Amino acid sequence: MKYKGKTGAYFEVVHVSSINDELIGHLETNELALLWFDTDDNQLEIDSVNYTFNTNDILCLTSFHKVKTINIHTVKLLKWNKPFYCIINHDSEVGCKGVLFYGAYALPVIHPNQQDVKTFDTVWKMLEQEMVSQDALQEEMLQMMLKRTLILCMRMFKEQTDYKKVDHLNIDIIREYNFLVEQHYKEKHTVAEYAELLHKSPKTLSNLFKKIGSKTPLKFIQDRKTLEARRLLSYTDKAVSEIGYELGFADVQSFSRFFKKQEGKAPADYRNSY
Share of the chain above pLDDT 70, in %: 99
- Is domain 168-273 given the CATH code 1.10.10.60 in the classification? yes
Q: Where are the extended beta strands (E) located within 123-209? A: none
Domain ranges for the chain: 2-160, 168-273
Angle between the 191-198 and 168-184 helix axes, to the nearest 10 degrees?
120
Exposure string for 17-55, b = 16+ CB within 10 A, e = fewer: eeeebebbbebeeebbbbbbbeeeebebbbbbeebebee
Helix (H) or strand (E) holding 146: helix 138-160
**What is the model's pLDDT at position 105?**
61
- Over residues 61-78, the mean pLDDT reads 93
What does pTM read for this prediction? 0.89
First-to-last CA distance in the chain? 36
Fold topology of 2-160: Jelly Rolls (2.60.120)
pLDDT digits (tens, 9 = 90+) for 175-222: 999 999 999 999 999 999 999 999 999 999 999 998 887 689 999 999
Contact 41, 180 (CB under 8 A): no
